[in-house]
Structure 1
Amino acid sequence: MTGTVAAVAIGRNEGERLIRCLTTLCEQLDRVVYVDSGSTDGSVQAARELGVEVVELDTSIPFTAARARNAGFEALKKSGLPDFVQFVDGDCGVEPGWIAAALAEFGNQEGLGIVTGWRSEIHPEASIYNALTDFEWHRPAGDIAACGGDMMVRSDAFDALGGFNPSVIAAEDDEFCTRMRKAGHRIFRLPLPMTRHDAAMTRFSQWWQRAVRSGHGFAQVGDLHPDYFVTERRRVIVFGAILPAIALVALIACLPVLLIAVLALYALSYFRTVQGLRREGLGLNMALRQSVFLSLSKFPNMIGMIRYRLRKLRGSAMSIIEYK
């Protein structure tokens, strides 16, 4: 398919990761906009030295990835909106040939609003947290319900929807994709490498914060679209709130049978998770290790969901939750 494509990359203190991201974009596109969210590591200067247009967000307004992507899109509109926009996170490098492949797919199929591909980690072996993230990215190709922030979007569809919701601080891509589907557009994942991500997670605290952010996203996006993240919210409530509460009652009331029953449910959930990961192709040792964190994640997820509810109740700003 013929059509014009430009890119919007967003970032905050990404350092060398940003340079890699912008370089891989400039190798495939003539128009690239970088939107910076208050970096203090020289990212803005580095981007300008690469010849990339830079948009610096107003620091007096809470940063969100959604707000940054919208600002990049508006910058493109000022100089002539392209037919398609490739959004990329600043910690991702774009694979050679991806732009051409995604553009071609828009011409191959009717009704596409978004085309995405496979993201993978650069260093999945560096930590169990990177390995978890790498496996998280591996999802089936074909028509999908939602995708991450790395995506090529039809510009007129994006404009008609008003872009991303800037108040959504986590899972803003899921929220946008949900509106895209409800507007009648398809979302398609090509079975091709798209971007190489650098999670750079080496500490438990980073993983915990990322899981808190995910829980916040479950709650906030679920508020906007009650039919989305239903299973995720239910699991978090059961394993992150109800069962711990029952266990606490069992301890206080000296009810060992009840406590054993709760522990048995956690054990059952753990082994079912292991089996699920094995079916998806993960080796036994890694499946056993990753299932520990997937089971444990319900607790920080619950914290994130509660944090969202408290923020909404108080009318507080939905500020970002950073993990690196």
Structure 2
Amino acid sequence: MNAAAAPATPPGLGMVIIGRNEGERLRRCLESSQAVGERRVYVDSGSTDGSVQLAIEAGAQVVRLDMSQPFTAARARNAGLRELRRQCPGVTLVQFIDGDCELLPQWLGSAERFLTQHPDIVAVAGRLRERFPDKSVFNRLCDIEWNTPVGEARSFGGIVMVRVEAMDGAGGFREDLIAGEEPELCVRLRARGGRLWRLDEDMAWHDANMLRLSQWWRRTLRSGHAFAEGASLHGQPPERHFAGETRRALLWGAALPLAILALACVTPFAWLLLLAYPLQWLRIGLRLARSHAPIPWLQGGFLLLGRFPEALGALKFYRGRLVGRRSGLIEYK
């Protein structure tokens, strides 16, 4: 696959690109979106690497976020959509994309046709692939994460085509969320009767550039924060948004280790409880192997190890809520 020049797109389709110091990744993103022409808005969150000039030279409309307010991807996407509608009042569909991604040539046309043929679908995404999956185990794990089930979906990520009318009805992204803003929006879209779909078609390349354990740790910590905050918003039945994910993170990443340490003060047999971790790894690995996951035991090991940074992220959210202070952006690049 490559991101060669794509055919012209329908006049009702626009694009919002967000980024912060993405460098060469942003250049590839802009080149892959040339078919949209003037109906592109690039929103910059305080870049210092020349990203703004790069976007201007590529012919995109540019929005620079006010640096006096906290940056979030949600805030950037909302600002981009507002500017897109100001510049192109007739836009009915918006393709959101992050600056570290590169659209595939056929995607915009395929997604637009699907939404035209299915008026009950409000958002559509495709297969996002990691550009360099063999560069690190962390990139490989990202590529596996992007491979979500085909068909009707409960949520989408940051690379998605959405009906502008549906975005308006749901109120857009929650700008105060530092992560997990896409699935939170999906909860509100579905609550209004909107349906989401994942096509069996390649959509874009993604360049995580995640080469170190510390990057993976921070990204996973951010996920834990998103789980806890999402559950605080929509965790009650029937939605139970991120309730299970938060519960698992706190159980395996906080409650069980603390229980072992506490019981060890009473009896040395408490350390036997550590056997729960290899047993859990075995259970996860077997489940992944049965589902034909490409690297089930390695993936299972990182899923289990990830409970610790997830728990820290969740506790970070709870601490912030307790003292009345919101968390700042958690970046891994």
Q: Please state which band the TM-score falls in when normalised by the shorter chain.
A: over 0.9
Tell me, yes or no, if the aligned pair for 1:133 and 1:199 is still in contact at 8 Å.
Answer: yes
2:38–2:61 CA contact under 8 A, matched in 1 = no
Q: Is the 8 A contact 2:14 2:36 kept in 1?
A: no
Query: CA separation in 1, counterparts of 2:176 and 2:101?
Result: 23
- CA distance in 2: counterparts of 1:207 and 1:10, whole angstroms: 22
CA-to-aligned-CA distance 1:54-98 (integer Å, 9 cap, x gap): 100000100000000000000012121401000001100001110
For 1:275, the equivalent position in structure 2 comes to 286
Q: Distance in 2 between matches of 1:147 and 1:211?
A: 18
Paired residues for 1:275-314 under 5 Å: 275-283=286-294, 286-314=295-323
1:46 aligns with 54
Instruction: Name the residue aligned to 1:229.
Output: 242
Relative to the length of structure 1, the TM-score reads: 0.95
1:142 corresponds to which of 147, 151, 175: 151
Partners of 1:18 and 1:43 within 8 A in 2: yes
Cα distance in 1 between the residues matched to 2:36 and 2:69? 33
Percent identity, aligned pairs only, is 43
Alignment-derived partner of residue 259 in structure 1: 271
Residues 111 and 124 in structure 2, CA contact (< 8 A), matched pair in contact too: yes
Could you say what the CA RMSD is over the residues aligned between the two structures, in angstroms? 1.5
Q: Does 1:129 align with 2:138?
A: yes
Give the distance between the partners of 2:105 and 2:82, measured in 1 at CA: 26
Answer with 309-318 or 126-135: which moved more: 309-318
The answer as to whether partners of 1:28 and 1:97 remain within 8 angstroms in 2 is no
The answer for unaligned runs of 5 or more in structure 1 is none
| Pick aligned residue for 2:78 from 64, 70, 80 | 70
CA contact (8 A) 1:123 1:130 kept: yes
Q: Aligned to 2:172, what secondary structure does the other structure show?
A: coil
Partners of 1:108 and 1:278 lie apart in 2 by 37
Question: How big is the shift at 1:26?
Answer: 1.2
- CA distance in structure 1 between the partners assigned to 2:263 and 2:20 by the alignment: 46
1:322 paired to 2:331: yes
Structure 2 equivalent of residue 21 of structure 1:
29
52-61 vs 272-281, which moves further = 272-281
Which of 151, 163, 167 is the aligned partner of 1:158? 167
Moved more, 1-10 or 155-164: 1-10
Q: Is the 8 A contact 1:12 1:37 kept in 2?
A: yes
**1:81–1:212: structure 2 CA closer, same or farther, 3 Å change rule?**
farther
One-letter identity of the residue aligned with 1:255: P
TM-score (norm 2): 0.93
Secondary structure class of the residue paired with 1:27: helix
Q: Deviations over 1:239-279 (max 9, x none)?
A: 011210121123222331x321x222211210121122223
User: What's the CA shift for 1:230?
Assistant: 1.7
Moved over 3 A (4+): 27-30
CA distance in 2, matches of 1:6, 1:166: 21
Q: In the alignment, is the contact (CA less than 8 A) between 1:168 and 1:318 conserved in 2?
A: no
| 1:185 is the counterpart of 2:194 | yes
The answer to whether the 8 Å contact 2:130/2:206 transfers is: yes
Alignment of 1:213-228 (within 5 A): 213-226=222-235, 227-228=240-241
SS of residue paired to 2:182: helix
Greater CA deviation, 83-92 or 29-38? 29-38
Deviations 1:136-178 (A, max 9, x none): 1111110010010111010011012221000011110010111
Bigger mean CA deviation after superposition, 80-89 or 19-28: 19-28
Q: Would you say the 8 A contact 1:62–1:317 is kept in 2?
A: no
Would you say how many aligned residue pairs link Structure 1 and Structure 2?
320
Give the Cα–Cα distance (whole angstroms) in 1 for the partners of residues 290 and 117 of structure 2.
32
* Distance in 2 (alpha carbons) for counterparts of 1:43 and 1:290: 35
Higher mean C-alpha deviation, range 20-29 or range 75-84: 20-29
Distance in 1 (alpha carbons) for counterparts of 2:219 and 2:242: 17
| Superposition deviation, residue 27 in structure 1 | 3.2
